[in-house]
Structure formats: structure tokens, C-alpha cells
Amino acid sequence: MLKILIAEDEEPIANLIRMNLLRAGYECTWAADGERAADMMMKTAFDLVLLDIMLPGISGYELMEYAKGLGIPVIFLTALGTTENVVKGLKMGADDYLPKPFEIVELLARVEAVLRRYNKAESVIALHDIVIDTASRSVKRGGEEIPLTMKEFDLLLLFAQNRNIALYRETIYEKVWGGEYFGQSRTVDLHVQRLKKKLQWEDKITAVYKVGYRLNV
């Protein structure tokens, strides 16, 4: 299981991030100040650090230099979202920069992207009775391949990377089809129904009232 350090001094934000990362299958550790975060990085081989800039003790910028020296990828999470701060963080070596407030789905997507860049992302995902191979874009049950269209596979992967999280139809459409969602479109619903039928997951992908859908794991 991939290990992520959350260096964030605001406990409610840290708890929200931690809860959703745990649901997505990551092992998470929280540090409320810079000194604690540095101590944890020294003792544990983390795969990624989510780093707030405005930390007590040691600043996020200083911590990032320490993390990069250990070869740990860094994503900045901060309210300091000005262009100047973004450029400074990226020039210092940050792998990504996400201003607060942010959507959890976007955070998970960026975490996955950075981990994939470092060849740390899951290439094989086992969920319920199926196995998803992201490299070959195949889905199998008991060794037998389940034929999915390109969009059905992308939809399944989105659910797999955001398991136990309610996804808005707008978010699903944007991530899978890459365009703006218009409420009257039935594209998302039709694809979800076809995917559920092919996977025999009628009771695993459930509708969330006035929101969209959730994969329950």
C-alpha cells in the first residue's frame, strides 16, 4: 500500500484529506507542524507528501527541499494560490500545486498523476471480483476478460480511483468525456447502467440522490 504524508496544520482539512485517501486505498500519516513532518520523513519511506506552505515550526518551502532530498514527490496544498507562490513552489521542485479550497476528486486525480509519473501508481487494481490492469486497459473476472468500450473502461477507472466517494454527474462527465456537462444529457446515466450490467455490479455502483454515483467497496 502506498504511503502518503499529510503535512497540514488545520485538523479538519487534514481529516477530510486523510479520510478520502484511505477510502481510495492509500496509507496516510498526518503531521500538524513542520518539525513533526520532518521527523516522520526521516523515519518512514513515504511515496508522496501533501504539503501546506504555512506550517508552524518549519515552513512548507523548507520541508519541500528536505523531501526532495529524500527523493519524495511533493504536492503543495495551500491557500497561498497567487501566481508568485505557484511559480516559486514549482521552481523549487514541487511536482504539483493545488490551491485551497479544492475538490477531493481533483486532489485524488493529481495524487494519481504524480504517483504515475514516478512509477508508483497502482498498475493492477483488484476490486470485489474483478481485476483492472491499467497498463493493458483490460478488466478480468476469474481470468476471463470482460469486454469494455474505451469510455466504459475510463468510467470504471474513475470509480476505482475514487471508491466510496460520491461523484457528481458533472465531475464524471468532465473526467471521462472531457467536456462541460449539461443537465439534460443522459450520457453518464446510460454508460453507468451499461457498466453495471457488464460487471454484474448492480448492487456495487449505486445512485446518490441529486448527486450522481458511488462505487461501494
* pLDDT of 101 strictly over 80: yes
Q: Is the domain covering 3-117 a CATH 3.30.559.10 domain?
A: no
In terms of pLDDT, which residue wins out, 42 or 80? Answer: 42
* pLDDT of 182 strictly over 80: no
The string of pLDDT tens digits covering residues 87-99 is: 777 787 889 988 8
- Give the percent of the chain with pLDDT over 70: 96
Domain definitions of the chain by residue range: 3-117, 124-215
* pLDDT of 180 strictly over 80: no
Q: What is the pTM of this model?
A: 0.70
The CATH classification number of 124-215 equals: 1.10.10.10
Mean of all residue pLDDT scores within the chain: 89
The string of pLDDT tens digits covering residues 17-64 is: 999 898 888 899 999 999 999 999 999 999 999 999 888 988 888 898
Same fold, 3-117 and 124-215: no
Q: What is the pLDDT of residue 82?
A: 67
- Before 56, cis peptide (omega within 30)? no
Other Cβ atoms within 10 Å of 141 Cβ, number: 13
